[in-house]
Structures are given as structure tokens and as C-alpha cells.
């Protein structure tokens, strides 16, 4: 087992891939990990492809480069699959999570022969069911935690409730919805 888990996020500007990476760093930090969460910046435009990264470890992390051989890739927007080689550098022991409403069979041909584990998660359906609106972050975050095993489900949920209570202090009505989105994601991946 590697002592550092490396994760690469692919999204489009404005969709929250960077926020998801920072949320993951936050929740892993709270469980005692050493963390890094950082975006790769280019020209900042809504809708342009963006990349964000996480390193999570039980030991201090000094590396400040981007991640080229991730253990896990999270794709927040399936329209990126045609534009970007999202599996680049991903080892066959690794895994990829794709947010899509399409069935897995339609996603696989875009993964350029990737041999590892593939998870397709319909974050839109989950988010709409749980929150009434489409916010892909919570389902994607739960999926990354579930697939990476970086922390226990119950610890994760407990920390996320505390986070949401802090983040949505002025909008308590969305706390339960977000928690529901996390739980539905765990169920969907079971």
C-alpha cells in the first residue's frame, strides 16, 4: 500500500472540481491526515477544462508538483471524455469515477483501454433526488471517498455533517439534502 493517495480531478470551470478537491482535503485533514488540495490554473474561463489535485497521506507531504500517475481520477463532466485523456498515467491498479447519466457501456470506449476499476455515478439524479437541484460536488466527493477507501464511511459522514453545518449556517435547509446526497452515493456504489 502506498503511503500517499494521489487523486486527479477533471472538471469544467465553474462546476466545482476545485471546491471538491478542497473539500476532500478538508475532511481528510479532520481525520488526522496530511493533505494537499490544489488547482492547476490556466486562463480562468467558465466552462474551460480545469484540473485539481489531492495528495492524502499519514506522513508529511513535501512534493509540490502536479500529479502525473494518480491512484484515482474523478471526472465531474462526461463531455470532457472526448477532449481529454482522463486516464493518462492512471495505473491499472487504480480507479476512475465518471459522473454521467449514460450507462457504463457508453463510457468505457472513451477510456482508451483503461484496465482498472471504472465507476459511473449519476450525480445529477442523486443531487436532484436529494436536494432538488444539481450540485455534483457532494456525490462526487462521496464517490471518491467510497472508492479510494481513504476513510471510513461513518467518520466521513460525521465530518461532512459538521462541515455542512458550518458552511451552511445560514441555509440549514440544505444540510440534510447534502447529507442525503452523500448517503445515496454510497448506496449507489455498493
Partner 1 sequence: MAIRERLSGNEAVAYAIKQINPDVMPAFPITPSTEIPQYVANYIANGEIDTEFIHVESEHSAMSATLGASAAGARALTATSSCGMALMWEELYVAASDRLPIVLALVNRALTGPININADHSDSMGARDSGWIQIYAESNQEVYDNFLQAFPIAEDARVHLPVMVCQDGFITSHGVENILLVEDEKVKELVGEYHPEHFLLNGKEPMAVGPYAVSNYYMETKRAQREAMKNAKEVILELAARFEEMTGRHYGFFEEYRMEDAEYVIVIIGSAAGTCKAAIEKIRQTTGKKVGLCKIRVFRPFPEEELAEVLKDRKAIAIMDRSEMFAATSGPLGAEVRAALQSAKSQAEVVNYFYGLGGRDITVEDFERVYERLEQIAETHVIEDMYDYIGLRSRD
Residues lying near partner 1 in the complex (CB under 8 A): 22, 25-26, 29, 34-39, 41, 60-66, 68
Q: How far apart (Å, rounded) are the C-alpha atoms in residues 181 and 123?
A: 9
All three cell numbers of 44: 480562468
Closest distance to partner 1 from the beta carbon of 159 (Å): 13
Closest distance to partner 1 from the beta carbon of 93 (Å): 20
* Nearer of residues 26 and 183 to partner 1, judged by Cβ: 26
* Nearer of residues 28 and 188 to partner 1, judged by Cβ: 28
Which residue has 487523486 as its cell numbers? 7
* Nearer of residues 89 and 92 to partner 1, judged by Cβ: 89
Q: How far apart (Å, rounded) are the C-alpha atoms in residues 43 and 108?
A: 30
Closest distance to partner 1 from the beta carbon of 113 (Å): 24
Report strand pairing: 49-57 vs 34-40.
antiparallel
End-to-end CA distance of the chain: 23
Amino acid at each position: 500500500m502506498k503511503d500517499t493517495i494521489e487523486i486527479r480531478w477533471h472538471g469544467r470551470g465553474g462546476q466545482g472540481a476545485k471546491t471538491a478537491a478542497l473539500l476532500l482535503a478538508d475532511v481528510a485533514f479532520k481525520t488526522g491526515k496530511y493533505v494537499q488540495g490544489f488547482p492547476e490554473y490556466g486562463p480562468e474561463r467558465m466552462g474551460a477544462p480545469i484540473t485539481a489535485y489531492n495528495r492524502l497521506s499519514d506522513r508529511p507531504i513535501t512534493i509540490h508538483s502536479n500529479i502525473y500517475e494518480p491512484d484515482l481520477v474523478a471526472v465531474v463532466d462526461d463531455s470532457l471524455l472526448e477532449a481529454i485523456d482522463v486516464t493518462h498515467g492512471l495505473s491499472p491498479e487504480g480507479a476512475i469515477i465518471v459522473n454521467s447519466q449514460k450507462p457504463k457501456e457508453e463510457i468505457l470506449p472513451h477510456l482508451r483501454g483503461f484496465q482498472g476499476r471504472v465507476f459511473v455515478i449519476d450525480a445529477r439524479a442523486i443531487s436532484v433526488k436529494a436536494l432538488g437541484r444539481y450540485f455534483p460536488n457532494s456525490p462526487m466527493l462521496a464517490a471518491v471517498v467510497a472508492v479510494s477507501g481513504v476513510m471510513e464511511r461513518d467518520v466521513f459522514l460525521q465530518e461532512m455533517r459538521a462541515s455542512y453545518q458550518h458552511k451552511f449556517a445560514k441555509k440549514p435547509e440544505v444540510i440534510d439534502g447534502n447529507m442525503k446526497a452523500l448517503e445515496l452515493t454510497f448506496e449507489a456504489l455498493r
